[in-house]
Amino acid sequence: MALQKNKVKFGLNKVHFAKITSWSNEGVPTFATPVRLPGAVSLSVDANGEMENFYADDGVYYVLNNNAGYDGELEIALITTEFATTILGEQLDSKGVLVERNDAEFAQFALLFEFTGDKNKIRHVLYCCTASRPANEGETTEESKSVKTEKLKLKAAALPSGLVKSKTCESTDETTYNNWYNSVYIPAAANANTTKSASEK
């Protein structure tokens, strides 16, 4: 059954992360099963990279598209212990205390999420993300309480195959749409391009 075409989008829901657990010799990542990151408040990612004109014959001869991925910020209610240990490299000690060290190694991961549309959800995946440590913020409670959220700076780069992101649309088949959060979707064209590049070396 084909999806209906959206006219607008709003909202943010079902943020998941899937750690890149390994890389093949050809630069193909293996992703862990996506894990829900609850409490999503907002997500904003800006395109990184600009187009450049190459001039010849007294005019624009070719336009270079420098796609350097995305930079942005994810705001959530509270960073989970699983995200802190799996992605940010923090450690749980024998007493169950979460410990941050200056030599912690951050992990790369895919970020999956969806925006609500007027007809159906628009599901996205950014394939190769890194996140920075969040700032700590709080204030004394007065007459009313206000929730203090946590913010993660994000960088989303391209995979060696050139793949940056994917999203569903009205042409997406039902099985792919329904299984979006069960595993990280990789288009067949990306695997074919990686295989071809490896064979040409």
Share above pLDDT 70 across residues of the chain, in percent, rounded to a whole number:
83
Q: Is the pTM of this model over 0.75?
A: yes
Q: Provide the strand spans (E) within 137-179.
A: 150-157, 165-167
Higher per-residue pLDDT: 201 or 122: 122
Q: Provide the strand spans (E) within the chain.
A: 9-23, 29-31, 35-36, 40-47, 51-56, 59-65, 70-76, 91-92, 98-99, 109-117, 122-131, 150-157, 165-167
Mean pLDDT for the chain? 85
Q: In a 3-state reduction of DSSP, which class is residue 117?
A: strand
pLDDT at position 67 = 73
Enumerate helices (H) and strands (E) in the chain, giving the number of each. Answer: 3, 13
pLDDT at position 48 = 82
pLDDT digits (tens, 9 = 90+) for 57-109: 766 776 666 777 899 999 999 999 999 999 999 999 999 999 999 999 999 99
In contact, 167 and 3? CB cutoff 8 Å: no
pLDDT at position 140 = 63
pLDDT at 2 over 50: yes
Name the residue among 156, 157, 159, 169 with its Cα closest to residue 190: 159
Token representation of residue 118: 């007027």
CA 36, CA 85: separation in Å to the nearest integer?
A: 14
pLDDT at position 198 = 46
Q: What is the DSSP letter of 174?
A: H
In contact, 47 and 65? CB cutoff 8 Å: no
CA 199, CA 184: separation in Å to the nearest integer?
A: 25
Q: What is the mean pLDDT of residues 161-184?
A: 94
Name the residue among 179, 126, 131, 121 with its Cα closest to residue 4: 121
The most confident of 2-16, 171-185, 186-200, by mean pLDDT: 171-185
With 0-12 / 13-18 / 19 or more C-beta atoms within 10 angstroms meaning exposed / middle / buried, residue 140 is: exposed
pLDDT at position 35 = 97
CA 33, CA 115: separation in Å to the nearest integer?
A: 21
pLDDT at position 116 = 86
What backbone phi and psi angles, to 5 degrees, belong to 46?
A: -105, 140
- Return the minimum-mean-pLDDT range out of 45-54, 56-65, 83-92, 169-178: 56-65
Q: What is the mean pLDDT of residues 178-189?
A: 92
pLDDT at 193 over 60: no
